[in-house]
Structure 1
Amino acid sequence: MRLHRNLVFAVVDGLNLIFNEGVYASKAVEQILKRDKRWGSRDRSFIAETLYDIVRWKRLYAEIAEVREPFDRANFFRLFAVWAVLRGIPLPSWKQLEETPARRIKGRFDELSKIRKYRESIPDWLDTLGLEAFGEAFWEKEIHALNEPAPVVLRTNTLKTSLPFLRRHLVDEGIASDPVPGYPNALVLKERSNVFTSEAFKEGLFEVQDASSQLVAPMLDVAPGMRVIDACAGAGGKSLHLAALMENKGQLIGLDIYPQKLHELKRRARRNGVHNLETRLIESTKTIKKLHGTADRVLIDAPCTGLGVLRRNPDAKWKLRQEDLGTITDTQRQLLSDYSKMVKPGGKMVYATCSILPAENSEQVVHFLKSAEGADFDLEKEKHIFAHTSGFDGFYIALLQKKG
């Protein structure tokens, strides 16, 4: 493999955006890829995949390269050199990569790979937290799985098509996929591809959504004609799934505190052919109070640490701080208390996170059921989804029913 200067420099610029300017990795990749329209698919894949690799293994690579944050430009080139040497890629004779000690890099890798916090490239506090929550054997498997690159999974939009038809449509566009046993609307790509440029995507035949995430909406047990509230709708991946399960019948209300996310939800809903969705901005507590006792179903897809989706968002482990966990769990507790009041007697509520931590998941549900607001609810079932057992993202989903 021959390294090209403009591509390597683009990777270095992307690392600077992520680590020095606080840009999310996905946004940094998006920004960098707009730089040169002449780049082909291989060039773009090299930039994106290399950036994600170095972000994922930052702690290990930094320890090998003997560099410390805040990183300067020379440090980023050293991180890149470590990445290239460990993949057996010959380094060009550029001044930025001079005197790269290839033999020492390999020796340090062998040495550090014996220590989990370096081998899995995670902060000390996260390693301690995982050990306390799961024990060593389970944590070893889970954190290793969370460092594997995530597959691209699609959810068939059943408002417009069926899985067999979508699969054939994608083949016609040169995109091969396989069904996922146990996930009725899921297709996993055989090779990574920019599906957003496909005609099938433009026609609204699918959404990109991990298989674990596709289990959330069905757990809510919706039916056509119901009044359903997605209380933390965001850009609406699960709202769109709920609309499909409701067959576009009834009322689906997407709530959020961020107007730009609701704007994106409305745009996606149009492409998906969703007609029963209404978005409402949460401007004050009045927005929620008006909906007290009115919903057949409520989904609380709560903000969380995102530790279950590190495979697709590896920069989260560097942006998250140990002290953030307390703030996040307080918010989750408050949302359960406030938003559960929208469920009518006999109605159901799902509490879900894309985290694997008990403190954000089952412990929150136990606390809620012991509270005054949760006294009228029963836990019907819950799912703990882990990356090393499912092959997909880590998730937690709990279904609760209000006594009627």
Structure 2
Amino acid sequence: MRLHRNLVFATVDALNEIFNNGEYADKVIEKTLKRDKRWGSRDRSFIAETTYDIVRWKRLYAEIADVKEPFSREDLFRIFAVWCVLRGLKLPDWPQFEGTPVRRIKGKFDELSRIRKYRESIPDWLDELGVQELGETKWTQELKALNVQAPVVVRTNTLKIKPSELAAKLEEEGIETSNLRNYPEALELKERANIFRTQAFKEGFFEVQDASSQRVAEFLDVKPGMRVVDTCAGAGGKSLHLAALMENKGQIIALDIYGNKLKELKRRAKRAGAHNIDTRSIDSTKVIKKLYDTADRVLIDAPCSGLGVLSRNPDAKWKLQPEFLDSIRKTQIEILQKYSRIVKKGGKMVYATCSILPSENEKQVQLFLKTEEGSQFQLKKEKKILSHESGYDGFYIALLERNQ
């Protein structure tokens, strides 16, 4: 494989934005790919995949390159050179790569690969926390799984099409998929592709949604005609799934503090043909209070550390700070206490996170059950999904029932 100057420079520019300016990797890549209209799909995937790869292994590569943050442009080229050497690529004869110590890079890689925090490229504090919460063996296995690029999984929109019909339509557009056992509506792409350009996507036949995430709406045990409140709806991936499970009958109230996310949900709902979703922005406490004791089902897809989705958001491990974890745990318990009041007697509630830490998951549920609001609930079942066991995102889902 021959390296092209403009693609390498674009990648280095993207890394500078992510590492030195604290920008989000997905947004930076999206912007970078618009830089040159002449780039083909192979060029674009080189930039995206190389950038994500270097973000994922930042600590390991920087250690091998012997550079420290903030990275100068020269440092970023040294990191890029490490990536090339470890991938067996021939370095071009450019001034930026002059004197790259190939043998030393390979030797240092072998040496550092014996130490988990370097091998899996993780901050010290996070490595210590993972061991504390999951234990040495499980944390080691989980970290390894979270450093593998996530597969692309779609959820069939059963309001419009069956999974077998969707698979056939995607195949007509040159995209091969496979069925997933135990995930009735999911299809996994055999090769990565830009599926947002397909006719099937434009017609609302599917949403991109990881297999583990598809478990959440199923857990809520909804029926057509119910009143369901999705309290942290965001752009609505789970609201749309709920609409399909309810066959468009009944009402889904999608709440969020961010109005722009709800706008995106409206757009997605229109494409999906989901007509029973009512979006409401949480701009005051009245919005929540009005809903007390009214819902058959409540979904709390709580804000969390996102440690279960590092395989698709590798930059999150560099942005995460211990203080954020402390504050997010407080937020989670507050949300549980406040939003649980929306459930009517005999109703059910799901608390879910895309985290793998017990302190954000089962420990929060146990803590909630000891509060005044929680004393009215009992835990019916819970599911802990780890990436190294499932092959998909790490998730936690708990189903609670209000009994008084």
Which position in structure 2 is the counterpart of 1:351? 351
Which residue type is aligned with residue 25 of structure 2? A
Amino acid at match of 2:36: D
Give the aligned partner of residue 300 of structure 1. Answer: 300
Partner of 1:90: 90
Equivalent-residue separation in structure 2 for 1:396 and 1:117 (angstroms): 25
1:12 pairs with 2:12: yes
Q: Which letter does structure 2 place at the counterpart of 1:131?
A: V
Distance 2:190 2:272 in 1: 24
- Provide the residue aligned with 1:368 in structure 2: 368
Letter matched to residue 261 of structure 2: K
The residue number in structure 2 matching 1:135 is 135
Q: Determine the structure 1 residue equivalent to 2:194.
A: 194
- 1:58 matched to which residue of 2? 58
Identity of aligned residues (%): 69
CA deviations on 1:351-373 (whole Å, 9 max, x unpaired) are 00000000000000000000001
Residue 73 (structure 1) shift: 1.0
Q: Which amino acid aligns with 1:401?
A: E
DSSP-derived class of the 2:185 partner? strand
Partners of 1:49 and 1:309 lie apart in 2 by 17
Q: What is residue 120 of structure 2 aligned with on the other side?
A: 120
Deviation of residue 32 (structure 1)? 0.4
Residues 1:165 and 2:165 are matched in the alignment: yes
Matched with 1:181 is 181
Q: Deviations over 1:305-334 (max 9, x none)?
A: 000000000000000011211001000010
Whole-angstrom distance in 2 between the partners of 1:84 and 1:273:
46
For residues 321 and 102 of structure 2, the distance between their equivalents in structure 1, rounded to whole angstroms, comes to 33
Tell me how far 1:19 sits from its aligned partner: 1.1
Q: Secondary structure of the equivalent of 2:184?
A: strand
What letter is aligned with 1:180? L
Distance 2:78 2:330 in 1: 40
SS of 2:84's equivalent?
helix
Letter in 2 for 1:368: F
Equivalent AA in structure 2 for residue 43 of structure 1: D
In the alignment, residue 107 of structure 1 is paired with which amino acid?
Answer: G
Residues of 1 paired with 2:273 and 2:9: CA distance?
42
- Separation of aligned partners in 2, 1:64 and 1:320: 23
Measure how far apart 1:139 and its partner are: 1.1
Structure 1 residue 134 displacement after superposition: 1.5
Which residue of 2 is the match for residue 101 of structure 1?
101
The alignment partner of 1:375 has SS state of: helix
Give the drift of 1:166.
Answer: 0.1
Counting only pairs closer than 5 Å after superposition, residues 5-404 of structure 1 correspond to structure 2 as: 5-404=5-404
2: CA distance, partners of 1:271 / 1:78:
45
Counterpart secondary structure, 1:108: helix
2:46 counterpart letter in structure 1: F
Partner SS state of residue 375, structure 2: coil
Rounded to whole Å, the distance in 2 between the matches of 1:185 and 1:19 is 38
1:133 offset after TM fit, Å?
Answer: 1.1
**How many angstroms apart in 1 are the aligned matches of 2:29 and 2:263?**
23
For residues 224-271 of structure 1, what are the alpha-carbon distances to aligned partners after superposition, in whole Å with 9 as ceiling and x for unaligned? 100000000000000100000010010101000001100000000001
Structure 1 length as normaliser, TM-score? Answer: 0.99
Q: Post-superposition shift, 1:135?
A: 1.4
Output the CA distance in 1 between the equivalents of 2:212 and 2:291: 29
Aligned residue-pair number:
404
Deviations, residues 146-176 of structure 1 (Å, cap 9, x unaligned): 1010000000000010000000000000000
What SS does the aligned partner of 2:109 have?
helix
Q: Name the CA distance, whole Å, in 1 between partners of 2:368 and 2:322.
A: 23
Q: CA deviation at 1:97?
A: 1.3
Letter in 2 for 1:369: L
**Offset, 1:99:** 1.1
Q: How far is the alpha carbon of 1:37 from its aligned partner?
A: 1.2
Aligned Cα root-mean-square deviation (Å): 0.6
Helix, strand or coil at the partner of 2:71: coil
User: What amino acid does structure 2 have at the position aligned with 1:293?
Assistant: D
State the alpha-carbon separation in 2 of the partners of residues 184 and 218 from structure 1: 10
Dislocated runs of 4+, deviation >3 Å: none
Partner SS, residue 183 of structure 1? coil
The CA distance in 2 between the partners of 1:319 and 1:130, in whole Å, is 16
Amino acid at match of 2:281: L
Q: Secondary structure at the match of 1:323?
A: helix
Higher deviation after alignment, 11-20 or 211-220: 11-20
Q: Report Cα offsets for 1:19-68 as digits up to 9, x if no partner.
A: 12221111111010011111111101100000000000000000000010
> Displacement, 1:346?
0.3
Alpha-carbon offset, residue 210 of structure 1: 0.3
Give a deviation string over 1:202-231, Cα, whole Å, max 9, x none: 100000000000000010000110000000
Deviations 1:102-143 (A, max 9, x none): 111000000000000000000001110111112111111111
Give the secondary-structure state (helix, strand or coil) at the position aligned to 1:317. Answer: helix
SS for the counterpart of 1:303 is coil
Q: Distance in 1 between matches of 2:74 and 2:201?
A: 41
Whole-angstrom distance in 1 between the partners of 2:64 and 2:387:
28
Uncovered stretches (5+) of structure 1, i.e. residues with no partner: none
**Alpha-carbon distance between aligned partners in 1 of 2:278 and 2:134, rounded to the nearest angstrom:** 41
